[in-house]
Structure 1
Amino acid sequence: MPHTNDLKKKAKFLKYVLGLRPDEFGLVLDKEGYVKIKELLKAVHEENGWRSFRQANINEMMISLPGPLLEISENRIRAKDGQQIPKRVSPENLPKLLFTCIRPKALHAILEKGILPMGRNHVILSSDKNMAKRIGRRIDASPALLTVSVDNAIQQGTLFLQAGENLFLARSIPVDCFTAPPLPKEPRVAKPKEPPKSRKQDRFPGSFFPEMTEQIEVIEPKKMTRKQRREKDIDWKKSRKQTRRR
């Protein structure tokens, strides 16, 4: 029974998130009122006591609780009665600044092409900087915060829709309509160390030092024939006799 009561409480909370105030949790529903289950889980994991909540718990709710408050279609989920969810409307009074976050590694592309939906149907912006950071941390642990000038964007043809109290949508934001943090410095690539140069001996005028790398020609003595050896022996004997006579 305690487990069933816990499931009922969680189901009612999800009913509130999906059926009443998805914008309060940084969620934007599609035209049918659905949101991807993984997006819902990322949002509720930010709440106390919900860190271990998984899709298996949602499936258990659908099976165990009578008259489930939720509906699942493939990888999407919505409140069964979501008539009170905020509709997308053209805002009457837009704030001067809106905020959105991106992955830091996408900053180079954003500065060249503008802010794009990045896998979504719209760019999600917020008038609350903390909410923008909260949504950004779902895609990157340290997101880059962008500040959008609403007036400049409107002058360049950007249309904004409001999806709740502080969430806004746009197809894209032109390049010169927002400010971004400075680009991260590229790490310096260490140059490979050159091998130490061999020290050459000092050379002075008139001196000669053979290079060790040059091959030294070795002159081998010529072999004497037998006749030459006899003649050499005779000459040596004659020379010895003459020395004795003296």
Structure 2
Amino acid sequence: MTTDAKRTVRVSKTLSRVLRHDPASIGVTLDEAGWVAVDTLLAALGRHGTRVDRAELDHVVETNNKRRFAYSEDGSRIRASQGHSVAVDLGLSATEPPPVLYHGTTGRNLEAIHRDGLRPMSRQDVHLSADTETAVRVGSRHGRPVVLVVDAAAMAAAGHEFRVSANGVWLTDAVPAEYLHPLA
């Protein structure tokens, strides 16, 4: 990995921490929908040791393989697309899910998942993917991946709500264990 690529990853991780979990760490406040002015963010990052200009920020947003960040329509504000542990309302409408969705995890979590289902833990929502490849990638971050199939059609029929973020991650409040099955 080149130095530039390492820098891009480091800036992306900093943005994730600030825009999803701890905006106060650099003295910024997210609005109720998770937005912060780009100029405010860049100035605060600089004051806290991470000098980033707009061109580099644009590069990080454009090249992030998970499309974690989004600009407002006029480009003056930025936010994380999902994954917040701080309270925000992304304003996402309920959306009919595909018949099945997937969740990547590791074997050490299976006992609790079979008992309690999927819960958001420290985040606001449970994150699901529309394809197994993404679920494998997510599960791989913490060990050997296990992919669970979510019967999204049955959940929706039972009244559970789904939303889809700007980067294609499916969100729901929780997934009860009866809607989960191992990937065949």
Per the normalisation by structure 2, the TM-score is 0.55
- Match of 2:161, SS state, is coil
> Distance in 2 between the 1:125 and 1:66 partners?
31
Aligned CA RMSD, in angstroms, stands at: 4.1
Measure the CA separation in 2 of the matches of 1:66 and 1:91.
33
Matched, 1:115 2:105: no
Residue type at the aligned position of 1:61 = R
**Contact 1:88/1:163, CA 8 A, preserved across alignment:** no
CA distance in structure 2 between the aligned counterparts of 1:151 and 1:107, rounded to whole angstroms: 22
Partner of 1:134: 137
In structure 2, the partner of 1:164 is 166
Counterparts in 2 of 1:127 and 1:83: CA distance versus 1, 3 Å: same
Deviation at 1:94, TM superposition (A): 2.1
How far did residue 32 of structure 1 move? 1.1
Determine which structure has the larger strand proportion and give its number. 2
- Secondary structure (helix, strand or coil) at the match of 2:102 reads strand
Counterpart of 1:82?
71
Distance in 1 between residues matched to 2:20 and 2:50, nearest whole Å: 23
- Secondary structure class of the residue paired with 1:98: strand
Matched residue of 1:179: which SS? strand
1:195 maps to which residue? none
Query: Which of 139, 147, 151 lines up with 2:149 in the alignment?
Result: 147
Extract unaligned runs of 5+ from structure 2.
22-32, 37-47, 59-67, 74-78, 82-89
- Of structures 1 and 2, the larger Rg is shown by 1
Change (3 A) 1:92 1:107: closer
Indicate the residue corresponding to 2:178 in structure 1: 176
Q: Percentage identity across aligned positions?
A: 22
Tell me how far 1:29 sits from its aligned partner. 5.3
Between the aligned partners of 2:105 and 2:146, the Cα distance in structure 1 is 5
Match of 1:94 in 2: 97
Count of aligned residue pairs for this structure pair: 132
1:61 aligns to 2:63 (yes or no): no
Query: CA separation of 1:89/1:105 partners in 2, compared to 1, >3 Å: closer, same or farther?
Result: same
Distance 1:33-1:179 versus aligned 2 partners, 3 A rule: farther
Change (3 A) 1:66 1:181: closer
Please give the alpha-carbon distance, in whole angstroms, between the structure 2 residues aligned to 1:162 and 1:143. 23
Instruction: Answer whether contact 1:100 1:125 (CA < 8 A) is retained.
Output: yes
* TM-score relative to the length of structure 1: 0.42
- 1:102: Cα distance to partner? 2.0
Deviation at 1:164, TM superposition (A): 2.4
Establish whether residue 105 from structure 1 lines up as the match of residue 108 from structure 2.
yes
